[in-house]
Amino acid sequence: MEIDEILEHFHPLPPQSREALKARISEVRYPKGHMLMRTGRVEKMLYFIRSGIVRAYSDADRGDVTFWFGKEGDVVVSMKSYVSGQPGYEHIETLEACELYQMRAQDLEELFANDIHIANWGRKLIGQELIKTEERLISMQFKTAQERYLDLMSATPDLLHRVQLCHIASFLGITQVSLSRIRADIR
């Protein structure tokens, strides 16, 4: 996805504001397996995914737990670092070679302070991310593993071809064996 399409997805911007935002964005590429963010660090960058897929996970006693996948058009940000300036609790790694648009969080804050259109764009972006988090929390509390799997496949049908099943099982809060059973029952 091109940067204009990504920016407009969150909220329309007047041309001058969009250009001011784009002037602070650069393109980067990372190979599969690259760690974009690490737990315990205050992250100073945020990213928009042009191509590729990433996952966010935290370490747990039983292994790492995946709690988010990002793909083309998504924003990648450590909310705790961005909002409160505190070390984040997540690792974010590339699951495919990725082309990303990157921006310093400080640059974004400066733009928010100087351009009401960009500030409103940012408010919409954060609001959309909050809704995704809320939906994920409600899903984990009130839906069965099979319902969560079906929702995931409905929202992102290409995920099975792009992400290892162990990460999908972790995201769903189940074992790989349980995921295999769900998949067999659905077929």
> For a pLDDT cut of 70, what percent of the chain falls above it?
100
Q: Tell me the average pLDDT across 118-125.
A: 96
CA distance 172 to 149: 7
Adjacency order of strands within the sheet including 91-94: 35-37, 91-94, 54-60, 63-70
24 and 41 share a domain? yes
* Phi, psi for residue 125 in degrees, rounded to 5: -60, -50
Nearest to 53 by CA among 155, 161, 171: 161
Residue 61 pLDDT exceeds 90: no
Q: Is the per-residue pLDDT at 62 higher than 80?
A: no
Q: Are strands 75-76 and 45-51 parallel, antiparallel or unpaired?
A: antiparallel
* pLDDT tens for each residue of 91-115: 999 999 999 999 999 999 999 999 9
- Averaged pLDDT for residues 10-32: 97
CATH number of the domain to which 129 belongs: 2.60.120.10
- The pLDDT > 90 percentage for the chain reads 93
Distance CA 67, CA 90 (A): 9
Q: Do 133 and 166 belong together in one domain? A: no
pLDDT of residue 116: 98
Instruction: Give residue 173's pLDDT.
Output: 92
Based on the fold, state whether residues 80 and 159 are members of the same structural domain: no
105 and 162 together in one domain: no
Q: What is the DSSP letter of 83?
A: I
